[in-house]
Chains A and B, each alone.
Chain A
Amino acid sequence: KNEVEQSPQNLTAQEGEFITINCSYSVGISALHWLQQHPGGGIVSLFMLSSGKKKHGRLIATINIQEKHSSLHITASHPRDSAVYICAVSGGGYGGSQGNLIFGKGTKLSVKP
């Protein structure tokens, strides 16, 4: 079983729709990260959460530590939001390092005009 599971794997939406991407994890964590990767592009950090909720523009990230679950919401989606969204957790680590990230496989979002 993967330590970080994302759903859905693929998501197609119409412009303007409200979008939710889910992330569940099975390890103890110190923080959860949401990342964005545009096609052929680099990786950008969107949020880092250890509790509660964060908002940046049309993006909202929430985390429930007790349920080991996080969601990334996009309000009023736009074609430029089309990208792969990756959930990653830190605190489990390899070699005892708390700094290492464990990644989900990503959710590919396509927003149609």
Chain B
Amino acid sequence: NAGVTQTPKFQVLKTGQSMTLQCAQDMNHEYMSWYRQDPGMGLRLIHYSVGAGITDQGEVPNGYNVSRSTTEDFPLRLLSAAPSQTSVYFCASSYQGGNYGYTFGSGTRLTVV
């Protein structure tokens, strides 16, 4: 089925560990983005990409790294996990963002202990 695939669904990390959250879409969307969702805060943009080879920072980029080597994939890397990064992470894609509909992944619940 066409859509956005996020893995893993759940993850527990120890402080200082690194990991990569995977995001893949098969809709040939140019725009992809990562958000974190925290209680009482709403969704906040971490990083986004408007096409392969192009990435930019969002509202809360510190501690995260991204790359976009293909149109399909947009992985999010946590360089050295901290308890403040405990959150639910969502990846989303859109044909060109903004005036086009968004498709969200099912989310990754990350706990850093």
**Which residues of A are interface residues toward B (Cβ below 8 A)?**
30-31, 33, 35, 41-45, 48, 50, 86, 88, 90-91, 93-95, 97-101, 103-106
Contact of A94 among B50, B59, B99, B107 (CB under 8 A): B59
Which of B19-27, B40-48, B64-72, B78-86 has 4 or more CB atoms under 8 Å from chain A? Answer: B40-48
Q: Cα distance A106–B88 when bound, in Å?
A: 15
Q: Given the known inter-chain contacts A31-B98, A99-B48, please indicate yes or no for A86 contacting B104, CB distance below 8 A.
A: no
A99 x B104 contact (CB < 8 A) = no
The residue in B96, B102, B105 that gathers the most chain A C-beta atoms within 10 A of its C-beta is B102
B105 x A42 contact (CB < 8 A) = yes
Contact of A100 among B42, B45, B103 (CB under 8 A): B45
A95 x B56 contact (CB < 8 A) = yes
B58 x A90 contact (CB < 8 A) = no
Q: Cα distance A88–B98 when bound, in Å?
A: 10
A45 x B45 contact (CB < 8 A) = no
A99 x B45 contact (CB < 8 A) = no
The residue in A41, A91, A101 that gathers the most chain B C-beta atoms within 10 A of its C-beta is A101
**Which residues of B are interface residues toward A (Cβ below 8 A)?**
31, 33, 35, 40-45, 48, 50, 56-59, 90, 92, 94, 96-107
Contact of A30 among B33, B48, B99, B104 (CB under 8 A): B99
Residues of A within 8 A of B45 (CB): 94, 100-101
Beyond the given pairs A95-B58, A100-B98, 20 more chain A to chain B contacts, judged by CB atoms under 8 angstroms and listed by A's residue number, are A30-B99, A31-B98, A33-B102, A35-B104, A42-B107, A45-B102, A48-B100, A88-B43, A94-B45, A94-B48, A94-B57, A95-B56, A95-B57, A99-B98, A100-B33, A101-B45, A103-B43, A104-B42, A105-B40, A106-B42
Nearest Cβ distance between residue A107 and chain B, in whole angstroms?
Answer: 11
Q: Cα distance A31–B98 when bound, in Å?
A: 7
Q: Cα distance A48–B107 when bound, in Å?
A: 21
Nearest Cβ distance between residue B93 and chain A, in whole angstroms?
Answer: 10
